[in-house]
Amino acid sequence: MIQAIRGTYDVLPADVGIWHAVESRLRQTFHLYGFGEVRTPIFEATELFVRSVGEETDIVSKEMYTFADRDESKSLTLRPEGTAPVMRAYIEHQLQNEARMLKLYYIGPMFRRERPQKGRYRQHIQSGAEVLSSTDNPAIEAEVMEMLTTLLAGLGIPDLEVNINSVGDRECRPAYVQLLQSEIRSRAERLCEDCRRRGEKNPLRVFDCKVPACQPVIAELPTITDRLCDGCRIHFEKFKSYLSQRNIVFRVNPKLVRGLDYYTRTTFEITSGRLGAQNTVVGGGRYDGLSEELDGPPTKGFGFGMGLERLILSIPDAGSLAPDYRPEYFIAALGEAAFDHATLLARKLRNLGRRVYLDFDARSLKSQMRLADKLGARSVVIIGDEELKSGTVLLRDMSTKEQRTIKEEEL
């Protein structure tokens, strides 16, 4: 038997309702805040991710599904994240000239070759939003945080924690990174091999390390939060005051650097107490300069990515949000003539917008009633020879078990 690839999963009809509910809630919220949907391909030139996400990140160094195209002229990669493709589309279609296309959102699959576990898959669904702008006003960041916290609270998710940080910019980060590098070097023998390599190539990445033995050493390292330049410090202070004005409770976490290289200034994560080890539901930050990095126009950017599996796992009574797709009418036919009539009646009811189910494999009334019950049909319409002759149907309400004969037109 051929099985689904490790780290992937099927969503079956019984469980798809919650996905529809979450997706429609997301779209509604995004539209309230003026975002428009963008749909980009699921594969891109490998170079796009190498140049934007960064070579030393976990994503690019070990998680991407990369392959040569058949003619081997080009290296392609299944997208591991959504910001780089959105930026690519923004630049390619010169969206900076279209005022209404600067707030963009997406919902779709991402691919990362990670060790599968609860809340971590090789194909997962992410929804994200990006605000692209000529201004880096921290009110943009606060508005996005407001949108997210409102959305998550609206879905009934308890125990949320908002962690924020500033990772500095071109002015203050270089000196800090140098300091960090020398502090890492002086502790190299107590750090894992990955940390030592990152310490040389991209020291900030050391804060992403998940090896338990490295954690006490990492705790000794200097943080950027105390070494921000005036511009970054004022930006961060304003951001925090905007959050407070909105009653958004947050914690400043100086070690929050996030797993992608393109971030500058504000970074953030929202975690859920209902998840285990993989507790980050949303992660994001500011990425001024990413557009220029990809040969685009000068642009300031702020956005996030949210894992929808983790989002759904953290909703306490997720099933109750699912829309009702159960049949409104189950038509049970007795005999061939009644069955033929039933198929036409089903068409009429469906044309009127009713959900109707018909058993093509019917043996007895009993078996049809059992199926109707299993499907959770609201009513069963019974048609036999008698009803056929008189143009009536027997209508059974499945919750009260009451039955009455009515004219077919009445139905």
Distance of alpha carbon 27 from alpha carbon 10, whole angstroms: 23
Q: What is the dihedral of CA 175, 181, 182, 188, to 10 degrees?
A: 170
**Nearest distance from residue 9's CB to ligand ATP, in Å?**
11
Task: Output helix, strand, coil percentages for the chain, rounded to the nearest 5.
Answer: 40, 20, 35
Distance of alpha carbon 51 from alpha carbon 262, whole angstroms: 9
Phi, psi (5° rounding) for residue 408?
-60, -40
| CA dihedral sign, ordered 307, 310, 316, 321 | positive
Of 281, 318, 334, 383, which one interacts with ligand ATP (CB under 6 A)?
Answer: 281
Touching ligand ATP, residues 287-346 (CB under 6 A)? 305-307, 309-310
Choices 115-123, 350-358, 379-387, 392-400; region in contact with ligand ATP by CB under 6 A: 115-123
DSSP letters, 45-114, are EHHHHHHHT-TTSHIIIII--EEE-TTSSSEEEE-S-SHHHHHHHHHHTTGGG-GGGSEEEEEEEEE---
**266 forms part of the interface with ligand ATP (CB under 6 A):** no
Total binding residues toward ligand ATP, as defined by CB under 6 A: 19
Number of CB atoms found within 10 A of residue 26's CB: 21
DSSP letters, 227-261, are G--HHHHHHHHHHHHHHHHTT---EE-TT---S-T
Of residues 105 and 121, the one with the C-beta less far from ligand ATP: 121
**121 forms part of the interface with ligand ATP (CB under 6 A):** yes
Site string for ligand ATP, 211-250 (x = CB under 6 A): ----------------------------------------
Of residues 119 and 301, the one with the C-beta less far from ligand ATP: 119
**Nearest distance from residue 306's CB to ligand ATP, in Å?**
6
**283 forms part of the interface with ligand ATP (CB under 6 A):** yes
Of residues 116 and 297, the one with the C-beta less far from ligand ATP: 116
Touching ligand ATP, residues 52-111 (CB under 6 A)? 81
Q: Which of 309, 306, 291 is nearest to 106 (CA)?
A: 306
Long-range pairs, 322-326, Cβ under 8 A, ≥24: 322/17, 322/18, 322/20, 322/21, 323/17, 323/20, 323/21, 325/13, 325/17, 325/355, 326/355, 326/375, 326/376, 326/377, 326/378
Choices 25-33, 121-129, 144-152, 397-405; region in contact with ligand ATP by CB under 6 A: 121-129
Of 83, 149, 181, 280, which one interacts with ligand ATP (CB under 6 A)?
Answer: 280
Site string for ligand ATP, 126-155 (x = CB under 6 A): x-----------------------------
| Beta bridge partner(s), residue 397 | 379
Phi, psi (5° rounding) for residue 361?
-120, 30
**Nearest distance from residue 126's CB to ligand ATP, in Å?**
5
Of 259, 289, 297, 384, which one interacts with ligand ATP (CB under 6 A)?
Answer: 259
Distance of alpha carbon 128 from alpha carbon 125, whole angstroms: 10
Choices 96-104, 119-127, 183-191, 338-346; region in contact with ligand ATP by CB under 6 A: 119-127
Q: Which of 59, 39, 159, 151 is nearest to 114 (CA)?
A: 59
**Nearest distance from residue 310's CB to ligand ATP, in Å?**
4
**263 forms part of the interface with ligand ATP (CB under 6 A):** no
Distance of alpha carbon 216 from alpha carbon 209, whole angstroms: 11
**114 forms part of the interface with ligand ATP (CB under 6 A):** yes
Of 267, 278, 299, 314, which one interacts with ligand ATP (CB under 6 A)?
Answer: 278
**267 forms part of the interface with ligand ATP (CB under 6 A):** no
**Nearest distance from residue 108's CB to ligand ATP, in Å?**
12
Choices 159-167, 176-184, 277-285, 356-364; region in contact with ligand ATP by CB under 6 A: 277-285
**Nearest distance from residue 112's CB to ligand ATP, in Å?**
5
Q: Which residue is nearest to ligand ATP (CB)?
A: 307
Distance of alpha carbon 173 from alpha carbon 257, whole angstroms: 12
**Nearest distance from residue 129's CB to ligand ATP, in Å?**
12
Q: Using CB under 6 A as the criterion, which residues of the chain lie in contact with ligand ATP when the complex forms?
A: 81, 112, 114, 119-121, 124, 126, 259, 278, 280-283, 305-307, 309-310
